[in-house]
């Protein structure tokens, strides 16, 4: 009869250890990113590509900060 192998829990299924303050900060950074990106995309299609480009760069900075906080698990 075949033996059943017990596999350890996968790392990505472990509970997320995130402090309340960092979770709120990351949530607000994500909200800022989404709103600025929506505004930037709207301007891109309606008004001017140059202005929209810089607005989307600002949105990307917010997302990069959030991503850094998430990866470093601060």
Task: Return d(Cα 62, Cα 28) in angstroms, integer.
Answer: 10
pLDDT of amino acid 60 = 96
Give mean pLDDT in consecutive 10-residue pieces for the chain, a chain of 74 residues: 66 61 90 96 90 95 93 79
Please enumerate in sequence order all residues whose Cβ is within 8 A of that of 17, keeping only pairs 6 or more positions apart, or say none: 73
Q: Are 55 and 39 in contact (CB under 8 A)?
A: yes
pLDDT of amino acid 2 = 64
Kindly give the residue spans of alpha helices, DSSP state H, lying in 1-48. 20-46
pLDDT of amino acid 1 = 55
């Amino acid at each position: 009869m075949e033996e059943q192998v017990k596999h350890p829990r996968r790392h990505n299924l472990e509970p997320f250890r995130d402090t309340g303050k960092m979770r709120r900060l990351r949530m607000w950074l994500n909200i800022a990113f989404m709103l600025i990106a929506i505004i930037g995309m709207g301007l891109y299609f309606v008004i001017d590509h140059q202005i929209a480009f810089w607005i989307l760069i600002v949105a990307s900075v917010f997302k990069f900060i959030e991503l850094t906080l998430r990866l470093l698990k601060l």
